[in-house]
Structure 1
Amino acid sequence: MKFPIITTIILTLFLRPGSPVRLETRDSSEIDPVTQTSAPLKWPQRTIQLAFSTSLNNPGPNIKVGSDVAGAARRALSRWSSMANLNFVVSWSNLTSVSPASGGDGVSLITVADTLENESFNADSTTARTRVFFDPETGAIAEADISINPRPRTEEGADLQFSTDGTPGTYDLEATFTHEIGHLLGLDHSAVLASTMQSRQGFNGTYGLPAFTERTLSEDDRQRVRSLYGPKSHLAKIEGRLIDNLTPTTLGPRQTFNVWAESIATGRVIASSITAEDGSYSLEGLTADQYRVLAAPRDESDSKNLRSVEVSSKLNVKSDSVTPLNYNLLPQNAPTTLSPRWIGLSGELSSVPLPVEAGKRVKIYVGGAGIDQVPGTSISVASPYFTVDPSSLTREQLSTPFPVISFDVTVAPSAPFGDYTLRLQSNSGETAYVPGAITIDPGALYAVVNPIDDARFFVTQQYSDLLGQPPDRDAIEKFSAQFGQCGIRADCLRSRRLDISTSLFLQNALQPDALFIDGLYLAGLSRRPRLTEFETDRATMSGSNPAQEETRSKFVISFTRRSEFEQKFGVNTSGVQFVDGIVSSVKQSSGADLASERTNLIKLFDGTPRGRAAILIRVVANQTFADAAYNQAFVQAQYFSYLKRDPDENGFASWLTVLKNKPLRDTEAARLVTCSFLNSTEYQLRFGLSAPHNGTECGN
């Protein structure tokens, strides 16, 4: 079991030349919440001058040889600048050490140098530290220095390293830079486990994976930095106070409590805060939506008397407004006994978030006091994209001083990028949360607003969505070269994206086996297949040659034995009744009239499953029916391929109306629809926080 190293921040008050403010110095460990100043810490302007120490070009033994140190720092800066329209102007400096706490030198330095000053500034157990100089009255930051620990060590004293290639047992340097730049901008720690600004950094190799997801800014990180630097137009906030009556007859503020908001629609964690000395909190940078607001003790001392609570199960938030929300925390009659402190995958426990993939089933581990008192039916993720299997609950026999359980969670294929909370309730009714315990981050390697704009990621994702398999090296190189020919010309890049996606879609999403399955459902059940049914059936057919008559016959025979089909066509159904039912189903579902085929179809009926299958195969192969059903299959394939979900009826009908006036199987019509799905917000949010493209790129 790996235990994470905790990073720290130093916040120091700086007396600027000519300032009448008295000199103050304060050093605070960021393990604990930072006492609020009279104003939030922020740079007074959006253009921030920084200096890279030349040590980045000549790092010491704490950084693995060959690591891209300067590139990691630049990519980390790019992640923050893209979220809040910040402009970092970087120069190089021969300085190697952070400024002393007694006063800054006016240079905001990023250094990896092994100097006495940097070594004394960092502790063995930190990955890096940031010292911020600011005006205590205005909160204006004047200087901030970042030092990567020149001598990181384990608790046993063994030397550790940073890397940029995911080497197991090292820390990811880019993730460290990203975290510390957040502090440089004025942010403190987040209560959300999957936030870049949470206080723990995991090793590469935790859960058997590189720790790249720690590079990616979460929704919580975005809201917090935008609350300082904007943009703030049409955004809202929730604010209030938490109070308690732990002292008899007295209501007092409850400080250092974690408060966070989740989208009711998706379950994603959107924003978080830590209550100040007066019990106040503020969840900023919110869009108009409905939110669930929760609170949990930050310290174990608080958790002995106060439990995690749902402050509001449904809060309507409007644009450009402040929604008040206060709450009185009631002390419990009995001490808290439920404390989920560890989570894990692959039998490994840690305190860093669990990276999962959309469309997969994973086994999740949770450890801590009282965990063995949680039944399977009381474990959930408050999101439509996650399903916990209660029957999979297992009490793991691990050599830990606390109980550990495991359970299976299925992630929907359409689950979007973001962070999600685990909820557990014990047999006694006590509830505990792990905010941001689960994260979906398919583009952690890419320092762009949305990884779908990276050529290699785009090609890989198109193959995954449209072919169900990764591309080979030649395909990646071929398509990446096509993007490279565009340079930075936006129109060319947009056209390339659409060309590649449309071509792959038409070649693979509408293969004969896919069209056959669609037709079978329309003819046999008078409805379209659902995504799960379609994927299961297509996988069954692809297990052998789907073009072989015997393969199709066996598949259709099994289809006729499904309960839904048997309810519609019982075993005693006559040949005439069966054929009339199928012809009627075709007319109802597609508009195609196969009455002229009735006699020939009845001749195929012999009362056996094979005879029924022969009739269905003949109907699905009928060109009149195939033409009438094509547009339905085409639009459905768009939903299945790009959005990974079943169509909504209004949207589906709207697209059929669009195609109704277009030539059948028209390439330009296919390109138009593909463009709209490819540039839809829903599609883009599968991979990142922002949607840089929209329907105007399609001429809509």
Structure 2
Amino acid sequence: MKIGFPQKIKRFAGWALSSFVFLCFIFFPLNIAAKTLKWRKQPIKIAISSSLLEHANQISNNENIMSLIKRSAEKWEAVANIKFEFFISEKRSISTDAPDGINLITIESTPDNIAFLGEDIDKTPAKTKIFYSQNNIIEADIALNPYIKFSTDGKFGTFDFETILTHEIGHLIGLEHMNLYCSIMTPQLPKNGTYGIPQIFFRDLSQADISLIRSIYGTNHENCCSSVTGRITVVGEKTFPLQVWLEDAESGRLQAFNVSNSYGSFFIGGIEAGKYRLYVQGIKNNKIVSSELGTILLKPASTIRIFRTVEPKTANLSAEKIGFNAQLSTNSIIVNPSSTYLVYLSINNNSSQEIQIESTSPNIKPIADTIIVHESEGNLSVISIGLEILESLNEGAYTLKIRDKDAEFFLIGAIVTSDKGKIPKNFFLF
């Protein structure tokens, strides 16, 4: 549903940027680098440092540390052909320049661990190091920050232990960061209290995470896995990296996501059979590519090849942060069906008076005549709009789209509907 031209009001006071956590990892090649890293030998045996047991009361008052670690690992085991085994170890320091044969999760404040966590130690709750040869992971270590406050109950200002560990285990099995609002592999996860809600709502894998890990390790699940591959050529450009993603053709639910190489070649795997809409987006200097490329029908265990040429537009339109309850973040907005919410978008745009807001899902409806432009410091336009979330919206991640007279821009997976708990309405219809 399109929204008309926005109303402009006085500068918005009290705007807050959410507290970000910087999540890091290092791939440590033993010889030749590879495009995709994975474990060839399974089960993956993980040593849990006794230091974690000693810090247990600082992490959780009511849950067993081993159970928390296993639950984080089981999220990946449940969706792909991955198997872990855990044991307790007295080892406390990660490997430094060479593998020592032990895959370790530790929280001890040893010199090696602290040096590895780096200069941003006050902002880094954890960091993962991977040793690999060609495309084979040889060893991986996770260092949790002993000076960071973790919790399991959503305590304000702390980091959710399960969310952070699920993210780091994603690195341990070969995943890099994914610049996607809804991904567990986002480079910035929020503290408890961002958007005024606990971080437990961010613990789960998105469907994009699931498709990605299945494309590497496979799965025994029925109706999986298919793939889409090809190349998107941008007119007049030798190099133009692009985001490429699939959404369910009926509901708009985000299914899979990946990024092309510099020349537009892409591969999206691990996809369940179904009917999808294919999208592409990229920005280079003042040129933007952003469009739907059409509908595809994927049968089980099939591959579709797509080769397209697209025309870039000269425009200054982009958006990075989305907001809720007076906070801006690069994390998804969590919503419930049959509810209404006021959300904010930070937009880089030369003509904010001409912005329109849409959704790629028929079950998320921008509410007419509610769009307002809030002036903030600098050139950033912060726009608020009411969204109606229909009862028929299924659990998953969904995309918003902004449009001006020159171009359009997608906020991929910016809205996530969850059944983990009640997200109070902050906008009401009369």
Task: State yes or no: 1:291 paired with 2:288.
Answer: no
Query: Residues 390 and 85 of structure 1: is their aligned pair in 2 closer, same or farther, counting only changes over 3 Å?
Result: same
The aligned runs of 1:542-581 (5 Å cut-off) are: none
What residue is the counterpart of 2:12 in the other structure?
none
1:372–1:404 contact (8 Å) kept in structure 2: no
Deviation of 1:329 after TM superposition, in Å, equals 4.4
* Residue 4 of structure 1: aligned partner: 20
- Corresponding residue number in structure 1 for 2:101: 106
Q: Which amino acid aligns with 2:22?
A: I
1:372–1:403 Cα contact (<8 Å) kept: no
Following superposition, the deviation at residue 3 of structure 1 comes to 4.2
Q: Which residue in the other structure is 2:130 paired with? A: 132
> What displacement does 1:374 show?
6.1
Secondary structure of 1:419's partner? strand
In structure 1, distance between residues paired with 2:141 and 2:125: 14
Shift of residue 183 of structure 1? Answer: 0.9
CA distance in 1, matches of 2:62, 2:229: 43
Deviation at 1:442, TM superposition (A): 1.5
Distance (whole Å) between structure 2 residues aligned to residue 416 and residue 181 of structure 1? 27
Q: Secondary structure at the match of 2:70?
A: helix
Is 2:162 the counterpart of 1:177?
A: no
* Matching residue of 1:405: 383
Amino-acid identity (%): 28
| Aligned residue in 2 for 1:76 | 72
1:244 aligns with 2:263: no
Task: Report SS of the residue matched to 1:75.
Answer: helix
1:343-354 maps to which residues of 2 (within 5 A)?
343-354=322-333
- Which deviates further from its counterpart, 46-55 or 306-315? 306-315
What is the CA-CA distance between 1:46 and the residue it aligns to? Answer: 4.0
Deviation string for 1:463-506 (max 9, x for gaps)?
Answer: xxxxxxxxxxxxxxxxxxxxxxxxxxxxxxxxxxxxxxxxxxxx
Is the CA contact 1:294–1:308 (under 8 Å) kept in the aligned structure 2?
no
The structure whose residues are more often strand, as a share, is 2
**d(CA) in 1 for partners of 2:153, 2:198:** 8
Report whether the alignment pairs 1:66 with 2:61: yes
1:401/1:127 Cα in 2 relative to 1: closer, same or farther (>3 Å)? farther
Distance 1:308 1:58, change over 3 A: farther
Alpha-carbon distance in 1 for matches of 2:78, 2:46: 17
Match of 2:309, as an amino acid? N
34, 39, 62: which one aligns with 1:37: 34
Q: Which residue of 2 aligns with 1:549?
A: none
Checking the alignment, whether the CA contact within 8 Å between 2:289 and 2:312 is kept in structure 1 is no
Deviation at 1:79, TM superposition (A): 1.0
1:136-215 maps to which residues of 2 (within 5 A)? 136=134, 139-151=135-147, 160-215=148-203
Residues 401 and 305 of structure 1: CA distance in aligned 2, closer, same or farther (over 3 Å):
closer
Q: Which has the larger radius of gyration?
A: 1
| Counterpart Cα distance in 1 of 2:144 and 2:419 | 27
Deviations 1:257-314 (A, max 9, x none): 32211111111111111112453211111122222222223xxxx4423314225131
Q: Does structure 2 conserve the Cα–Cα contact (< 8 Å) formed by 1:357 and 1:440?
A: yes
Amino acid across the alignment from 2:272 = T
Shift of 1:317: 2.1
Q: State the partner residue of 1:48.
A: 44
User: 1:467 maps to which residue?
Assistant: none
1:485-634 to 2 correspondence within 5 Å? Answer: none
- The one-letter code of the counterpart of 2:149 is Q
2:396 aligned with 1:438, yes or no?
A: no
Aligned to 1:672: none
Deviation at 1:422, TM superposition (A): 0.8
What do the CA deviations read for 1:135-187 (whole angstroms, capped 9, x no partner)?
Answer: 21xx1212111111234xxxxxxxx5222111111111110100111111111
Match in the other structure for 1:465 = none
Separation in 1, partners of 2:184, 2:62: 21
Q: Helix, strand or coil for the counterpart of 2:367?
A: strand
Opposite residue 364 of structure 2, the aligned amino acid is: F
Q: How far apart, CA to CA, are the structure 2 residues paired with 1:294 and 1:150? A: 42
Match of 1:275 among 260, 274, 277: 260
Q: What amino acid maps onto 1:207 in structure 2?
A: Y
- Residue of structure 2 aligned with 1:391, choices 359, 369, 390: 369
What are the Cα deviations for residues 218-272 of structure 1, in whole angstroms up to 9, with x where unaligned? 101111111122226642101112333545xxxx3433x3221111111111111
Aligned to 2:93, which of 85, 91, 97? Answer: 97
Distance 1:199 1:308, change over 3 A: farther
Counterpart Cα distance in 2 of 1:421 and 1:88: 34
Alpha-carbon distance between aligned partners in 1 of 2:373 and 2:274, rounded to the nearest angstrom:
39
Normalized per residue, which structure has more helix?
A: 1
Alpha-carbon separation, structure 2, partners of 1:212 and 1:414: 24
SS of alignment partner, residue 89 of structure 1: strand
1:323 maps onto 2:323 in alignment: no
Q: Which residue of 2 aligns with 1:582?
A: none
In the alignment, residue 37 of structure 1 is paired with which amino acid?
A
Superposition deviation, residue 437 in structure 1: 0.4
Partner of 2:10: none
Question: Which residue of 2 is the match for residue 698 of structure 1?
Answer: none
Q: Secondary structure at the match of 1:180?
A: helix
Cα contact 2:225–2:273 (8 A) shared by 1: yes
How many Å separate the matches in 1 of 2:54 and 2:218?
Answer: 36
Letter in 2 for 1:11: F
Q: TM-score, normalised by structure 2?
A: 0.86
Long gaps (5+) in structure 2: 1-15, 423-430
Question: Offset of 1:372 from its aligned partner?
Answer: 6.1
Distance 1:200 1:358 in 2: 26
Tell me which of the two structures has the higher relative contact order, counting C-alpha pairs closer than 8 angstroms and 6 or more residues apart. 2
Aligned positions, number: 400
Structure-1-length-normalised TM-score: 0.54
**Aligned counterparts of 1:99 and 1:348: Cα–Cα separation in 2:** 39
Give the 3 Å change call, closer, same or farther, for CA 64–47 of structure 1 in structure 2: closer
CA RMSD between the two structures: 2.4
- Is contact 2:154-2:200 (8 Å) kept? yes
Instruction: Give the direction of change, closer, same or farther, for the CA distance of 1:53–1:246 in structure 2 (3 Å limit).
Output: farther
Residue in structure 2 matching 1:429, options 406, 410, 429? 406
Gaps of 5+ in 1: 15-22, 25-35, 152-159, 445-460, 462-700
Cα deviation for residue 399 of structure 1 reads 5.5
Please tell me whether the aligned partners of residues 306 and 329 of structure 1 are also in contact (alpha carbons under 8 angstroms): no
1:324/1:65 CA distance change after superposition, 3 Å: closer
What amino acid does structure 2 have at the position aligned with 1:206? T
Q: Which moved more, 1:431-440 or 1:314-323?
A: 314-323
| Deviation, structure 1 residue 356 | 0.5
CA distance in 2, matches of 1:364, 1:3: 18
SS in 1 for 2:368: strand
Q: List per-residue Cα deviations over 1:93-142 (Å, max 9, x = no partner).
A: 11111111x21011111111111111111132322111111221xx1212
Question: Are 1:262 and 2:247 matched, yes or no?
Answer: yes
- Residue 327 of structure 2 aligns to which amino acid in structure 1? E
Contact 1:305 1:331 in 2 (8 A): no
CA contact (8 A) 1:179 1:196 kept: yes
